[in-house]
Amino acid sequence: MKRRNFLKIGMQVLVSAWAYNLEDVLLAAGKGSWQVDVQPGQLETGTLGLVKVHPPQSVERIKAHFGGKNIPVFPNYSTEKWPFGCFVPIPLTMKPGRKIITFRASANGETLLYSHPIKIKKKEYPKEFLKVKKKYAEFPPPILKRIRSDQAAVGRACRKITPEIYWQGPFVRPVPGRITSPFGLRRYFNGQPRSPHSGVDFAAPVGTPVKASNRGVVAMARDCYLSGKTLIIDHGYGLFTIYCHLSNFKADLGDMVSKKAVVALSGKSGRITGPHLHWGVSLLGKRLDPQSLLNISSHFA
């Protein structure tokens, strides 16, 4: 369309606004539009984002699709500004660039569709090269079997999508200690790349109370070969927090735990060089930087 035509349409809107009532016309113009706000404004690989959604009218059902996945949408009762929301995972492996999130809603038998762009920026994570004894770099078959079965159990727990909002307000860190190893650190053992660090490590002497980052249901409490005593909390809608190398569980599988409740004591269980708490976040089966969950928490209300 030529610029002149744009001007003409602009003039028409102005003329109608003047002829009727400016406010009514603007309301009518806004009525058919979706309002979508992505937080943070710049999404980086290895993090999660919060998408606030305000459909143009009240809807019965709403679904989202992003990055080749169905994204569960939750109702938000805390404010009328965004009656729906969803968390989007930006895995470490996602290609940077412009992506699209699509919403499909139904209202009075009518289907409403809307697409919104999301820009993904590549985040560079630090590398660490370690020289270790061969027996620590390679596992004999029986150990490897145990590691695989642990990983499958964690995967099963974290892939569940509970259609309940268990979390209440912002997420909090589980222990007060400083971060000794960041999320995404790429470790090389004797030159061989390992999986990137799937969470953050906090300095924590053995026996430090570990608090639930938010309200949720204990989805796993298991002694794993690598991550030691491991506790997973389901916060609903595919969002989980994971606590590793614990010395003691203080909550059982299936327990509903409140935010900041002591769910475990930290320790040095599993394959580990010194005591610390490894804290992870999983969203729709993807491990993401827990710091990004703490950061978007301020946008909850």
Count the neighbouring beta carbons within 10 Å of the beta carbon of residue 255. Answer: 16
Contact residues for 22 (Cβ-Cβ < 8 A; gap 6+): none
| Three-state secondary-structure class, residue 188 | strand
Nearest residue (CB) to Zn ion, 215 versus 278? 278
Provide the minimum distance between the beta carbon of 198 and Zn ion in the complex, in angstroms, as a whole number. 7
**Which one among 99, 259, 278, 286 touches Zn ion, defined by CB under 5 A?**
278
Nearest residue (CB) to Zn ion, 44 versus 201? 201
Provide the minimum distance between the beta carbon of 229 and Zn ion in the complex, in angstroms, as a whole number. 14
Provide the minimum distance between the beta carbon of 279 and Zn ion in the complex, in angstroms, as a whole number. 8
- Asked if residue 40 has a cis previous peptide bond (ω within 30° of 0), the answer is yes
β-pair type (97-107, 110-121): antiparallel
Nearest residue (CB) to Zn ion, 211 versus 278? 278
Provide the minimum distance between the beta carbon of 197 and Zn ion in the complex, in angstroms, as a whole number. 6
Within 13 A of 134's CA, how many CA atoms are on the CB side?
1
Give how many residues touch Zn ion by CB under 5 A: 2
For residue 211, give both structure tokens: 């608090």
Burial class (CB in 10 A: 0-12, 13-18, 19+), 91: middle
Nearest residue (CB) to Zn ion, 116 versus 278? 278
Nearest residue (CB) to Zn ion, 52 versus 278? 278
Which phi and psi angles does 215 have, rounded to 5°? -70, 145
Provide the minimum distance between the beta carbon of 264 and Zn ion in the complex, in angstroms, as a whole number. 15
Provide the minimum distance between the beta carbon of 9 and Zn ion in the complex, in angstroms, as a whole number. 57
Does position 245 bind Zn ion by CB under 5 A? no
Of 74, 64, 69, 113, the closest CA to residue 90 belongs to 69
Question: In this chain, which stretch among 29-37, 104-112, 129-137, 273-281 interacts with Zn ion, using CB under 5 A?
Answer: 273-281
Tell me the C-alpha distance between 56 and 35, whole Å.
8
- Closest residue to bound Zn ion by CB: 278
Question: In this chain, which stretch among 9-17, 231-239, 250-258, 277-285 interacts with Zn ion, using CB under 5 A?
Answer: 277-285
Provide the minimum distance between the beta carbon of 55 and Zn ion in the complex, in angstroms, as a whole number. 40
Contact string 139-158 vs Zn ion (x = CB under 5 A): --------------------
Contact string 175-214 vs Zn ion (x = CB under 5 A): --------------------------x-------------
Contact 103, 64 (CB under 8 A): yes
Tell me the CA distances in angstroms from 63 to 41, 52, 55, 59, 106, one per residue in order: 22, 13, 11, 11, 9
Provide the minimum distance between the beta carbon of 76 and Zn ion in the complex, in angstroms, as a whole number. 32
Tell me the C-alpha distance between 210 and 267, whole Å.
10
Nearest residue (CB) to Zn ion, 128 versus 138? 128
Tell me the CA distances in angstroms from 280 to 9, 138, 182, one per residue in order: 52, 24, 11
Interface with Zn ion by CB under 5 A: which residues?
A: 201, 278
